[in-house]
């Protein structure tokens, strides 16, 4: 299969590209600079520029473009960047795919469980309504930007990714250095639900969605969400480190700014659609996930 991948240089994108190549697929990587390797195609999503002819023969697309929500403090300028870095590439790619003849069969569009906002003890699925936070609004606009592909009849699956367990990734990237020093502990009161997924299962799920007969929102989270305190405890066991010192919410807000609200938010998400499509997780609970992460870090 010939697959175009956007955001292929990020954490998830790099792992996905390697997996696809390993499975024998041909990968076309969209880049914003002059191409330096075979299979790279230059585009400028901010200007809506993408040479449709360069995508001739593409059978599927995966779009993971977007600035990291936890990379910088949430100034008004960075909030605008977070939104634009998602909607502009999505709209540019969706419009280009819609103009292809023949069109690709599927677009796996990056998304996030941030769409649900802070929901306490509520069990959330793909049928749940959006929340009212900044990230929830971003995700709504992000998914809407893929409308040209949907209108053209391209099966579009919105991969609503949870907290990815991987070295250097999002909330775990901020937690692991503290944990390895023996300073990690529950964030805030630790009662918030964290809907996590290991990087290995994330990539497997994205590959699965290329051929699974599903469309619309798909939650990419492990089947057993855990409270932050429980997950932190399992990580401590896997790394052989204590996790008794909590990180107070005010201190977390000072360190990471607006992103702290997402780290402290409670989202108890179940991947109903993914499981219903036949996907099987390698790491189905917090214990297995923590051990995998500790092995990856080494």
- The pLDDT tens digits for 218-236 are 999 999 999 999 999 999 9
End-to-end Cα distance, the chain: 34
User: What pLDDT was estimated at residue 46?
Assistant: 94
pLDDT of residue 134: 93
Which one, of 21, 112, 95, lies nearest residue 55 by Cα? 95
3-state secondary structure 179-231: HHCCCCCCECCCCCEECEEEHHHHHHHHHHHCCCCCCEEEEECCCCCEEHHHH
Q: Crossing angle for the helix pair 170-180 and 286-297, nearest 10 degrees? A: 70
In the structure, what pLDDT confidence band is assigned to residue 255 with cuts at 50, 70 and 90?
low
In this prediction, residues 140-161 reach a mean pLDDT of: 98
Per-residue pLDDT, averaged over 164-174, amounts to 78
How many CB atoms sit inside 10 A of residue 242's CB?
13
In this predicted model, what pLDDT tens digit does every residue of 55-71 receive, in sequence order?
Answer: 999 999 999 999 888 77
* Confidence at residue 205, expressed as pLDDT on a 0 to 100 scale: 98
Confidence of residue 181 (pLDDT cuts 50, 70, 90): confident
Q: What per-residue confidence (pLDDT) applies to 91? A: 98
On the question of pLDDT at 248 being above 90, the answer is: no
pLDDT at 261: 78
User: Which residue, 148, 130, 150, is CA-closest to 139?
Assistant: 130
The pLDDT value recorded for residue 200 is 97
- Quote the strand ranges of 12-142, DSSP E: 26-31, 40-44, 49-50, 60-63, 106-112, 123-124
CB distance 179 to 236 below 8 Å: yes
Whether the Cβ atoms of residue 194 and residue 228 lie closer than 8 Å to each other: yes
Per-residue pLDDT band at 169 (split at 50, 70, 90): low
Domain count, the chain: 1
pLDDT at 245 over 80: no
Q: How many Å apart are CA 293 and CA 288, to the nearest integer?
A: 9
30: CATH: 3.40.50.720
- Calculate what percentage of the chain has a pLDDT beyond 90: 78
Q: What share of the chain is helix, strand, coil (3-state, %, to 5)?
A: 45, 20, 40
Contact 30, 56 (CB under 8 A): no
Task: Kindly write down the DSSP assignment for every residue of 89-123, as one continuous string.
Answer: HHHHHHHHHHH-SSPPSEEEEEEEGGGG---TT-E
Residue pair 145/90 in contact by the 8 Å Cβ criterion: yes
The mean pLDDT value of the chain amounts to 93
Count other C-beta atoms under 10 Å from residue 148's C-beta: 20
More confident residue, 180 or 98: 98
Structural domain containing residue 180: 2-297
* 8 A C-beta contact, residue 111 and residue 159: yes
Strands 60-63 and 106-112: parallel
More confident of the two residues 246 and 134: 134
Q: If pLDDT is split at 50, 70 and 90, which confidence band does 16 have?
A: very high
* DSSP SS3 for 61: strand
Provide mean pLDDT across the span 91-116: 97
**pLDDT tens readout for residues 109-128:** 999 999 999 999 999 999 99
Least confident of 128-137, 180-189, 199-208, 236-245: 180-189
pLDDT greater than 70 at residue 29 = yes
Helix (H) or strand (E) holding 270: none
Look at residue 113 in the predicted model and tell me its pLDDT. Answer: 97
Confidence of residue 256 (pLDDT cuts 50, 70, 90): low
For residue 14, pLDDT over 70 is answered with: yes
């Amino acid at each position: 299969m010939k697959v175009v991948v956007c955001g292929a240089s990020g954490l998830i994108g790099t792992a996905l590209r390697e997996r696809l190549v390993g499975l024998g697929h041909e990968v076309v990587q969209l880049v914003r600079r002059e191409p330096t390797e075979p299979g790279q195609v230059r585009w400028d999503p901010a200007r809506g520029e993408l040479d449709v002819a360069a995508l001739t023969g593409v059978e599927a697309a995966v779009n993971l473009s977007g600035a990291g929500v936890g990379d910088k403090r949430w100034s008004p300028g960075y909030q605008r960047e977070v939104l634009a870095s998602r909607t502009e590439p999505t709209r540019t790619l969706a419009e280009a795919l819609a103009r292809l003849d023949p069109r690709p069969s599927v677009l796996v569009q990056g998304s996030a469980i941030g769409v649900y906002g802070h929901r306490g003890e509520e069990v959330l699925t793909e049928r749940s309504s959006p929340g009212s936070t900044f990230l929830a609004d971003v995700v709504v606009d992000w998914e809407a930007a893929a409308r040209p592909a949907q209108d053209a009849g391209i099966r579009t699956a919105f991969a609503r990714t949870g907290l990815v367990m991987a070295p250097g990734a999002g909330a775990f990237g901020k937690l692991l250095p503290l944990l390895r020093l023996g300073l990690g502990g529950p964030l805030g009161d630790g009662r918030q639900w964290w809907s996590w997924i290991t990087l290995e299962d994330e990539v497997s799920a994205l590959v699965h969605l290329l051929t699974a007969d599903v469309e619309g929102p798909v939650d990419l989270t492990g089947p057993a969400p855990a409270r932050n305190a429980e997950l932190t405890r399992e990580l401590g066991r896997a790394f052989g480190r204590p996790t008794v010192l909590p990180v107070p919410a005010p201190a977390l807000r000072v360190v990471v700014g607006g992103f702290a609200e997402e780290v402290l938010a409670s989202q108890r998400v179940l991947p109903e659609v993914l499981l219903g499509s036949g996907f099987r997780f390698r790491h189905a609970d917090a214990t297995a996930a923590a051990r995998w992460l500790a092995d990856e870090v080494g």
